[in-house]
Structure 1
Amino acid sequence: MELGIVQIFHEVLSQRCAPFRPPAMAGTGAAPSGALAPLVVDVGANFGFFSVYAAMMGCRVVAVEPVPRFLAFLHWSLAANGLRAVPFPIPGLHPSATGGGNGGGGGGASAVVVVERVVSTVSGENVTMTAPRRGVWGTASVAGTANNIDQDLETIAVESAGLDEIVGSEQVLLLKVDVEGYEPVVFRSGEQLLSDQRVEHIVLEYSPGMPETLDQVFPAMGGKAPVGTEDPPKMLLDILGKGYSVVHLPDNFAKSGFLPQLQDPLPEFQEVTARSVLYDIADLAWFRNFSGSGDSCPWPSELRAVNEGAWGGSRCLRAPEDSHPKDETRSWSSQRYPETGVGNRACPYLPASMMVRSRCRCLKPDLCGREEELPVLGVLGGKTYYPRPLTSAKDYRVLISKGKSDAKKAKIYGRVGKKIIQLAKAGGADPVMNAALDTLLRQAKDLGVPKDIVERNLKRATDSKQGDYQEVTYEAYGPGGTGLIIFCVTDNLNRTASEVKPTVIKSGAKVAEPGSVMFNFSRCGMIVVDGTTEDAVFEAAMEAGADDVEPVPPEEDGQPSTSYKVFVPVEAFAAAKATLRQLGFSVNEEDSDLVYKAAAPVEVDDEAFSRCEALMEKLLELDDVDSVFTNCDGLVA
């Protein structure tokens, strides 16, 4: 049992789902009448442990499991815990219509929607799966991607459905995906769900070594692997680019057999960055360079002579042993973790023949001592045996910049979507009859908001279950005497408060009383103009009625700024933008907005600056938070 994952589930679900847990399940039953419990989607539910756990916590649950043998155990698990199993709805019937969650159903039992489908990018087709009759049942997979031939395999055909189709327009509190290397396909099938930022938390299995194996197996079988070699790292890059923070859960936590103290705070995890994922992609080219027929192994002859089984053979390059040492997603051994080898392997439990190969210290000198003493080991990981990174520093900057840009766009799209619902509910969804909505839709077009997002939110506005969006502002005392203004747009004030306040407190900051921080800021319009000079923009800004002009710091040090922020009174915001356009200036619509401008920036030391920056990033990850403003010098809007 993966008991570390249980602690993750408990941390995420305990507060949010508890009000929907009926008293019969030791819950409070204090949820507002008619409200729906938060939704958990479990893709790869297997025998249903995590689905049952989430349902017993009070959440609504959609459990996706296509393998008949596993489904039998899943249904047994549900019945044993007094939970109703509801089959995947007919087209047009959404999971929320089944009565799932909030104690709905006969005898007070909650319902779990069971989807007996393979999640794929194309719905309604038959997908081939193989499931073992013996051995590790968890390796059931699409097209046998994770099976061994000695597992007595059963081949089955299962109908497919996309994640977007299964979830519909719902918000998802937690999405778990564990499908034995098929995860990239699952996430591609939920592109709309993720782009709309409707998933708060994701737990997934990352299998970067799987496609390297598939590349060898499927061509020999005359077929094409369902997941390409670069799909897993590209999947992580896409998730990072959508504004998520990604951390690595080591095996000694995630798959721990020791029951965790569920009330204890989660331990600190290593962050997975875009840069580290790029090394996965670099590894692929490195592996391909030596994968062709007749190529020789790159390892020194001295190593092969001592341990041919580990360093030689037909597949002398393999993951994770030969991944780049800077590839954090594979986890290279280091002085910080002396008992851990590549792939987070526990060194003391490895066979002696694989200890040095896995970058562990030799714990059995009579068997691997000579291998460890070879001087060539000292240069492994250097220029001689490993390639230079295939991505330059400039490419890294471009990637990271793109990730931030994508996150910013997603925030803008979410903001526009909420505003569409707000105005449409107030004055009707027909822009011909609703002037405010018509103006907003024109602005959305200028911002490049996709048409389907606009149409989907117009439809949501007519749904009787959709709550009204309203604006709420929180104030906080930040690190080093700084202040923060947290501006939110929400359809659930209780949810917003339960997310924003703990985030502030856990970061070492303090929630402030209304007005105690706000007096340090003024509400104004900020217009960003690109591709100009200070003299030109200053003269035009004065004509447009501006109060102040500031340069936007350039990305490259030592380069002059070509973008400027023009601050104007709130009531003059729209007119000033129009004036600047008429004068020939390029207005950056994405960055131009109403802001809270600090009256006097507060200088802080490096530590306080980093803490303040991290707090702002964590707040902006919350769906209900629209924008965050601070008077911390260097982070000022």
Structure 2
Amino acid sequence: MQSGLLLALGIVLQLGTLCWAGIPYEACSNTCPKAKNGICDEGRPVQGKTSHLLLWMATCDLGTDCDDCGPYITAAASVPWEDPRNVGPIGFLRSRDVQVRVMQAAVPPALKFSFAYTDPAADSDVSRHMDDTGLVERGISAVAYTLLKGRCLRPDGGRSLVVDVGANFGWFSLIAARLGCRVIAFEPVPLFRSFFTFSVHLNGLEGLIDIRPRVVSHEGSKTMKMVVPGAGIWGTAGIDGLNVDTRAGAAREEIEVPSVRLEDEIKEDVLMMKVDVEGWEWSVIAGAAGLLGNYTVENILMEYSPGVAERHYKWDAMAATPGMLRDLISKYGYSIGHIGDTDKHHAGDWEDPLPPLREVTLNNLKYDIDDVRQWQNGTMACPPPPELAKFAAWRHVCKGSPEGLSPRSFRSEFGFNTNIWCAKGASLGAPYLQLQGPVGVLNPNDPPAKFFQTNPLDYGMGGRPCYHLAPDVQVRHRCKCSKPEVCGEEESLALQAVAAGHMAQNYVLP
């Protein structure tokens, strides 16, 4: 908070204006190239005027077009940010020919805020969802709303802390601040941070959100390379470009950013921490050991991405990723629920109770960890069952993912990545994290002779719905054959192989 106060003081001195007791004075420069054209080009609806528009375009920084927009601006919102050329976030984005759109988020009245994003043709993830629905990650947003509602103001009068690691355009930070929490957000990419900074100023939340331009890692004071895509899914930007979206074919930007550890940055209790770092989760948690061990971090909402390390056969990171979940349970006392697809999770009213989640258990994770060991050794799913040698899908099964993974593992239940919720203490049980049954295509307690899935989701290996799979690959994914004339013989021989102990990935650990 001290650094935020010093920043605010510096802002006031730069402007030559005063702001006493939180009452802002107008700070207007009319330096926008389109100033005094009768149109508010600051990306905000003009106060007191009704607009039929669903979104606004922003081509001016706040405080540079006041005669068109009206005197509804705080001094803090009109100051250039950290750009060395002394321009604001909109000036920075315009200098890079990046479009800025602003829309009112489709959220409950208690959360009402405006959100800045870009042309969805350029960013097909966050911006596409915002442009289409007015929402970003509906399911996790509902979890965050339920967790934070009524809990941001503590009984002692202080504000609960939310930590946002990999904040991107700042969606979750804005939700937390609108509910009254303090937020420390880490976003190292200047492009994303520009949108985030503008949204913070646009909603007058400068006093609650502290944006830090750093990579969070297990090592502090390192210079780390990040790769940022120029099109496609912008949010795949990450360390060394390991998960960067290459499908769009656009130029990529490489930037160097200093790193920090959470245990050095945060030394107090945290109500909620969000982590979305494109496969770097294990590193973030490793660098948070002092925070997790010495303070209470009640909730962690995480995008869990083992597929990133697997794509590049980074064995240490592949092992550290499920090892991280094991440590969160056994060392730090968390219970973990599998959220999965955020668009499908909690699709009802925001005030509805959160649905129960399937639990990620230590009994699952021992298979995740052993699969990595076998994968590295070249023994995963080997040797293939001789009974099925006549079928092409079974001839080259060694190292095959997801079909060769243990069906009792957490990893068997989803494709490239997924979303989880780690909770402890007051956040366990209704109305917060409720758990029911373990994850896995098979229950980890199922006998070794069981082959076909019986999970409540009716998913085969890799989270693929059985009813969507073609009959010639159903058995390979542990789904029962739907057309006996196509896969009936394969199904019968698979059961024979399991009964004979020839299905290598059917092993059961003690």
Is 2:259 aligned against 1:177?
no
Question: Alignment partner of 1:299: what SS?
Answer: coil
Given the alignment of the two structures, is residue 212 of structure 1 paired with residue 301 of structure 2, yes or no? no
Aligned partner of 1:159: which letter? P
SS in 2 for 1:61: strand
Q: CA deviation at 1:380?
A: 5.1
The aligned residue for residue 133 of structure 1 is 230
Note if contact 2:166-2:187 (Cα within 8 Å) is conserved in structure 1: yes
- What is the CA–CA distance in structure 2 between the aligned matches of 1:246 and 1:377, rounded to whole Å? 35
- Structure 2 residue aligned with 1:238: 327
Query: For the structure 1 residues 134 and 370, does the alpha-carbon distance in structure 2 shift closer, same or farther, using more than 3 Å as the test?
Result: farther
Which amino acid in 2 is paired with 1:369? C
Alignment partner of 1:248 is 2:337: yes
Question: Of 390, 394, 402, which residue of structure 2 is paired with 1:320?
Answer: 402
CA distance in 1: counterparts of 2:483 and 2:185, whole angstroms: 46
CA-to-aligned-CA distance 1:255-305 (integer Å, 9 cap, x gap): 42774322222222222222221111111222233279xxx9633467565
Alignment CA distance shift 1:306-1:115 (3 Å): same
For each residue in 1:323-373, what CA deviation from the matched residue of structure 2 results, as whole angstroms up to 9, or x when unmatched? Answer: 21222453215324262223333334456665443323455778x636754
1:82 maps to which of 204, 207, 219: 204
Secondary structure at the counterpart of residue 15 of structure 1: coil
Matched to 1:285, the amino acid is: R
Which of 448, 456, 464 is matched with 1:337 structurally?
456
1:67 aligns with 2:202: no
From 350, 360, 363, the equivalent of 2:479 is 360
1:299 paired residue number: 384
Root mean square deviation of aligned Cα: 3.2
- Structure 2 gaps of 5+ residues are 1-135, 413-439, 443-452
Q: Which residue of structure 1 lines up, in the alignment, with residue 255 of structure 2?
A: 156
Cross-structure match for 2:361: 273
* 2:493 maps to which of 367, 370, 375: 375
Residue 13 (str. 1) matches residue 131 (str. 2): no
**2:140, 2:351 → 1: CA distance?**
14
Looking at structure 2, the residues matched to 119 and 291 of structure 1 have their Cα atoms a distance apart, in angstroms, of 35
Larger Rg: 1
Name the counterpart of 1:188.
Answer: 286
Report the Cα distance in structure 1 between the residues aligned to 2:351 and 2:139, rounded to whole angstroms. 13
Amino acid at match of 1:287: W
| Alpha-carbon distance change, 207 to 321 in structure 1, aligned in 2, over 3 angstroms | farther
Q: Deviations over 1:486-544 (max 9, x none)?
A: xxxxxxxxxxxxxxxxxxxxxxxxxxxxxxxxxxxxxxxxxxxxxxxxxxxxxxxxxxx
Q: Which amino acid aligns with 1:385?
A: M
Report the AA paired with residue 60 of structure 1.
R
Q: 1:48 to 1:338 in 2, by over 3 A?
A: closer
CA distance in 2, matches of 1:210, 1:376: 31
SS in 2 for 1:228: helix
Label 1:13 to 1:338 Cα distance change in 2 as closer, same or farther (>3 A).
Answer: closer
- Equivalent in the alignment of 2:35: none
**Aligned partners of 1:133 and 1:305: how far apart in 2?**
46
Structure 1 residue 182, shift from structure 2 partner: 0.7
Residue 39 (structure 1) aligns with:
161
Q: CA deviation at 1:391?
A: 5.7
Is 1:347 equivalent to 2:466 in the alignment?
Answer: yes
Amino acid across the alignment from 1:386: A
Query: What does the per-residue CA deviation read over 1:429-471, in whole Å, with 9 as the maximum and x for residues that have no partner?
Result: xxxxxxxxxxxxxxxxxxxxxxxxxxxxxxxxxxxxxxxxxxx
- Give the equivalent residue in structure 1 for 2:375: 287
Question: In 2, are the aligned partners of 1:306 and 1:371 still within 8 Å (CA)?
Answer: no
TM-score w.r.t. length of structure 1: 0.48
**Is residue 42–residue 177 contact of structure 1 (8 Å, CA) maintained in 2?**
yes
Conserved? CA contact 2:219–2:259, under 8 Å: yes
Q: Which has the higher contact order (CA 8 A, sep 6+)?
A: 2
Secondary structure class of the residue paired with 2:184:
strand
Query: Residue 130 of structure 1 contacts residue 155 of structure 1 at CA under 8 Å; is this kept in 2?
Result: yes
Query: Which one-letter code corresponds to 2:146 in the other structure?
Result: E
Note if contact 1:342-1:358 (Cα within 8 Å) is conserved in structure 2.
yes
Deviation per CA, 1:29-72: give whole Å up to 9, x if none.
xx76xx32100001111121111111111111112111222223
The sequence identity of aligned pairs, in percent, is 35
TM-score, length basis structure 2: 0.58
Counterpart CA distance in 2 for 1:162 and 1:192 is: 10
| Structure 1 unaligned regions, length at least 5 | 21-30, 85-99, 101-110, 219-224, 393-637
Q: 2:349 aligns with which of 261, 265, 283?
A: 261
Residues 7 and 260 of structure 1 are in contact (CA less than 8 Å); yes or no, is this contact kept in structure 2?
no
